[in-house]
């Protein structure tokens, strides 16, 4: 999708057509064993962990996003961290094409007709408009990694769509996963040879036509989403494109 914003979190978002944007310590062995946390002693699997909101931190020059899930009080479980690391190949960059548009990990609320907030994966082609479009030779790779192995990982990517002369979203997912649901406007298998593609321009906030929900049975610690623009000619508008991540849930062994 195309998008622009000057805010990290946006509500009532306008249409795509109107926007551009340890501490080390030592103790006696006996004392250390007596202080073992409850979760280390019981190690009961935690189910149904989720990121209901996006309140993480951005680092590494804006390329990394980190968010920690903290179990509810009494769950006897250690926290778990999810990191997204962005890298780019060819004529593409993080965030918007112009200097006043959105940043890579801007949050929008709601997304994809879910009524929930989504974390943006926002990028733009940078090659001159009078040169041939780069296609997959200009792509972003977003590697999601977890500090502990997770199972039953379910997440939704929203707003896979297209606008002629601007962007044609293509998305590929590695690893072993199954497709749980997809919007009516999405085609393809989510692989390099058959990437997900959108058939039209959808409302990024209210339409689920560009959504795909997947499940990784796991256990796993990482996977990568590859994202690129398949448009072959430019109309002169910005070439911002974005998909959003929402509804992330998983199970994990807390120790």
Q: Where are the domains of the chain?
A: 26-252
Nearby residues of 28 by Cβ (< 8 Å), 6 or more positions away? none
Residue 30 has a pLDDT of: 38
Q: Which two tokens stand for residue 129?
A: 């408009």
The answer, yes or no, to whether residue 131 has pLDDT greater than 80, is no
The answer, yes or no, to whether residue 63 has pLDDT greater than 60, is yes
Residue 6 has a pLDDT of: 37
Q: What is the mean pLDDT of the chain?
A: 83
**Helix H or strand E segment including 67:** strand 64-69
CB 144 within 8 A of CB 223: yes
The answer, yes or no, to whether residue 22 has pLDDT greater than 70, is no
Average pLDDT over residues 224-247: 86
The answer, yes or no, to whether residue 3 has pLDDT greater than 60, is no
Q: 162 or 150: which carries more pLDDT confidence? A: 150
The answer, yes or no, to whether residue 21 has pLDDT greater than 60, is no
Q: State the residue for tokens 């926290």.
A: 79
Residue 255 has a pLDDT of: 77
Q: In degrees rounded to 5, what are phi and psi of residue 230? A: -95, 5
Q: Tell me which DSSP letter residue 148 carries.
A: E
Tell me the per-residue pLDDT of 80-111, one tens digit each, with 9 for 90 and over.
Answer: 999 999 999 999 999 887 767 789 999 999 99
Q: Tell me the C-alpha distance between 50 and 38, whole Å.
A: 22
The answer, yes or no, to whether residue 10 has pLDDT greater than 80, is no
The answer, yes or no, to whether residue 233 has pLDDT greater than 80, is no
Average pLDDT over residues 19-24: 36
High-pLDDT (> 90) share of the chain, %: 60
Tell me the per-residue pLDDT of 210-226, one tens digit each, with 9 for 90 and over.
Answer: 999 999 999 999 999 99
Residue 203 has a pLDDT of: 79
The answer, yes or no, to whether residue 246 has pLDDT greater than 70, is yes
Give the confidence band of 235 by pLDDT, cuts at 50, 70, 90: low
Q: Which two tokens stand for residue 40?
A: 């280390």
């Amino acid at each position: 999708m195309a998008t622009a914003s000057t805010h990290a979190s946006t509500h009532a978002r306008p249409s795509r057509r109107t926007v551009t944007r340890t501490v080390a310590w030592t103790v006696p062995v006996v004392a250390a064993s007596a202080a073992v946390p409850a979760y280390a002693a019981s190690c009961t699997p935690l189910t149904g962990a989720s990121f209901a909101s996006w309140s993480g931190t951005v680092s590494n020059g804006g390329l990394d996003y980190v968010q920690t899930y903290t179990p509810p009080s009494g769950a006897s479980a250690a926290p778990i961290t999810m990191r997204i690391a962005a890298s780019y190949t060819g004529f593409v960059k993080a965030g918007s094409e112009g200097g006043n548009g959105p940043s890579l990990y801007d949050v929008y609320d709601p997304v994809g007709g879910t009524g929930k907030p989504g974390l943006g994966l926002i990028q733009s082609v940078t090659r001159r408009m009078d040169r041939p479009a780069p296609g997959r030779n200009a792509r972003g790779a977003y590697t999601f990694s977890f500090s502990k192995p997770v199972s039953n990982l379910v997440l939704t990517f929203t707003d896979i769509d297209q606008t002629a002369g601007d962007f044609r979203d293509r998305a590929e997912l590695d690893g072993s996963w199954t497709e749980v649901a997809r919007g009516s406007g999405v085609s393809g298998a989510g692989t390099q040879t058959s990437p997900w593609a959108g058939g039209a321009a959808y409302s990024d906030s209210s339409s689920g036509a560009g959504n795909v929900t997947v499940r990784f049975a796991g256990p796993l610690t990482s996977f990568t989403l590859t994202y690129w623009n398949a448009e072959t000619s430019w109309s002169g508008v910005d070439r911002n494109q974005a998909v959003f991540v929402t509804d992330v849930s998983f199970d994990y062994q807390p120790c």
